[in-house]
Structure 1
Amino acid sequence: MNLQKVSIILINYNSHQFTYSCVNSIIEKTKRVDYEIIIVDNNSTDADYEALKSIASHSKVQLIRSRINLGFSGGNMLGVQFADPRADYYYFLNNDCVLRTDVCSQLAAFMDATPDAGLCGAQMFNGDGVRQITFGYLPTLGSKILGHGFVRMLNPVIYPPTKQAYTEPIRVPFVMGSTLFLRASAFNLIGGFDVAHFLYVEEEDLAKRLLRAGFFTYLVPLAEYVHFTGQSTVRNYDVDKEYYISLFYYFRKYHSWPARALFRVYYFIKNGRKFWRDPIYGRLAWFIGRGSPMRESLRYRQTIRP
């Protein structure tokens, strides 16, 4: 019997310890698919890159180094260039994750049995083993102005409860970007990630374009992984600003200019009313009021390594 081929793509940026744990969990848990692991080093320090070379000696692992930080979308698309073109599925997995179950085999089996699935994700837990919200709603004026509770009541099929513990696969608007398992043919059809997104909103954009191409997104809750995000998070204005750059780029792609104007007012007020808690919110409100210009993206601060 021919096993399904899964190309697993990880991005490393000055975090080789996380990458080691992630790769080891993949090797330990993955049993019933043929897989390869492609590590894209996104212009880390020399020391961090060198530390990856020992794990890259494993027969399943390929290590690539980019001379410039390409961000999330760009780094993953670089990994795709080195993936086996015969792959049935791509699995874009954050390097600060570890698998709790045989996620690749579970998700591949689900996709095999679900022809309209273009993208699916496993159930996320935090480092303490607490179940986390693993999917969200695509941003619309209705959900922002009326609230998620109201739109859930109006259309529970499109807006399933995010905090519910599911035991069966469920169709969702999008899954969190820490674990994106994609049908390769669907991913290739839409041209992969939009590399204009540097750090955020990639998963919403991906799910939106797949939906337009006739493919749905699912959560498969019996597949489980741990995401060690936010263990020591410090607020950073430039990173927070990057979120709104990507978000308003998404709005420019999919919403009319009157809707974009209302989104700008909504997010301006949302941040501005919290400025007393942290001056960053006031700065973000002003940035949004200026139109969240893409020219201020961190993408344009990257330099090419000699």
Structure 2
Amino acid sequence: MRKVSVILLNYNSHRFTFDCIASIQQQTQGVDYEIIIVDNNSSPTDADALRPLADVPGVRLIRSRINLGFSGGNMLGVQAADPATDYYYFLNNDCVLRTNVLAQLTVFMDATPDAGLCGAQMFAGDGSRQETFGYLPTAVNKILGHGVARLLNPDRYPNRRRVYTEPVRVPFIMGSTLFVRASVFHAIGGFDVAHFLYVEEEDLAKRLLLRGFYAYLVPQAEYVHFTGQSTVRNYDIEKEHYISLFYYFRKYHSWPERALLRAYYVIKNGRKFRRNPVYGKLAWFIGRGSPMRESLRYRQTIREQ
């Protein structure tokens, strides 16, 4: 029987963590699995609320004394996982499973040797079907738009709004449901921890693709995502998005393309300055090069206990 290591990050959202684990236990059959919870330096009250989970069979609770972000927190969970695991399932804690997702994705990955990662179909809390995959960022799709990019290369840009009934190869899967082949994940060194909060899934899919492994949506597997329950959008969070995005561009795109994209985002945000001054600040930040030294990563402190 295949082994799946489910890794959940908790950040001041323990109630969602309890609901997520309950759904995994209720839905999962036919798979040997473990659940690893990484508390990413939540408040003492929230972290203490998780303590009863440490006594649940098959559940391991880890508390980090510093917020490691998405990539770093998940990599801490990987280090605590069974070294012989076949698959990692990086699942947001504000999700609940609607079907036997672990078994469905395991069966699919076993039958699809070129799959490096896959994901279940996402639904919102109101039951509406949500877009579950996206396109790897390039100058073409960012500047010309996804519609034009899809017309130019429909195989590379499958329709995100289409209702799929069979598995489909996609550019990348949303980070709330990343089911990854452990052997390939190990070979590429896991998540790039330089990404603190955003663009981790794009980077992972890109590095897997460079190794010849693809991402797939498996629509028969379903889950509900209650969307960003531990992240509050503000100027610092918006800055973090551009820090990660331009780090990605530096890794995979040429200097002329990066310069074009930087100009595009400066103009895009600058044009909205009168609507909200924050956009002007973002335009200036992007124009300065979206320096990584201003990442929230460098504002984290180590909790005393």
TM-score category of the 2 structures, normalised to the smaller one? over 0.9
2:296 corresponds to 1:294: no
Q: Which moved more, 1:19-28 or 1:47-56?
A: 47-56
Cα distance in 1 for residues equivalent to 2:228 and 2:88: 25
Cα distance in 1 for residues equivalent to 2:229 and 2:37: 23
- Secondary structure in 1 matching 2:73: helix
**What is aligned with 1:261?**
259
Deviation digits for residues 40-91 of structure 1, max 9, x if unmatched? 0111111111110112211010000111000000000000000001100000
Cα distance in 2 for residues equivalent to 1:5 and 1:232: 29
- CA 1:233–1:9: 2 relative to 1, 3 Å: closer
Deviation digits for residues 119-142 of structure 1, max 9, x if unmatched? 001100111010001000001111
Shift of 1:233: 7.6
Alpha carbons 2:8, 2:36 under 8 Å: kept: yes
Shift of 1:277: 2.0
1:193 maps to amino acid: F
Deviation digits for residues 100-153 of structure 1, max 9, x if unmatched? 111110000000000000000110011101000100000111112222111111
CA root-mean-square deviation: 1.2
Q: Which moved more, 1:274-283 or 1:254-263?
A: 274-283
Map 1:115-134 → 2, pairs under 5 A? 115-134=113-132
- Secondary structure in 1 matching 2:218: strand
Deviation digits for residues 144-166 of structure 1, max 9, x if unmatched? 22221111112111100011110
2:243 corresponds to 1:228: no
Among all aligned residue pairs of Structure 1 and Structure 2, give the percentage whose two residues are the same amino acid: 76
Cα distance in 2 for residues equivalent to 1:180 and 1:70: 18
**What is aligned with 2:167?**
169
**What is aligned with 1:157?**
155
2:232 corresponds to 1:216: no
- Secondary structure in 2 matching 1:186: helix
1:274 maps to amino acid: K
Alpha carbons 2:70, 2:196 under 8 Å: kept: yes
Q: Which runs of 5+ in 2 are unaligned?
A: none
Shift of 1:232: 10
2:237 corresponds to 1:239: yes
**Aligned structure 1 segments of 4 or more residues deviating by more than 3 angstroms:** 230-235
Cα distance in 2 for residues equivalent to 1:198 and 1:71: 5
Q: Which moved more, 1:15-24 or 1:143-152?
A: 143-152
**What is aligned with 2:29?**
31
**What is aligned with 2:105?**
107
- Secondary structure in 2 matching 1:27: helix
Cα distance in 2 for residues equivalent to 1:301 and 1:140: 30
Using structure 2 for the length normalisation, give the TM-score. 0.98
**What is aligned with 2:38?**
40
- Secondary structure in 1 matching 2:165: coil
Alpha carbons 2:143, 2:261 under 8 Å: kept: no
Deviation digits for residues 220-242 of structure 1, max 9, x if unmatched? 01100011015798540000110
- Of 186, 189, 192, the residue aligned with 2:187 is 189
- Secondary structure in 2 matching 1:245: helix
**What is aligned with 2:82?**
84
**What is aligned with 1:274?**
272
Cα distance in 2 for residues equivalent to 1:162 and 1:39: 31
- Of 37, 50, 53, the residue aligned with 1:52 is 50
Alpha carbons 2:40, 2:66 under 8 Å: kept: yes
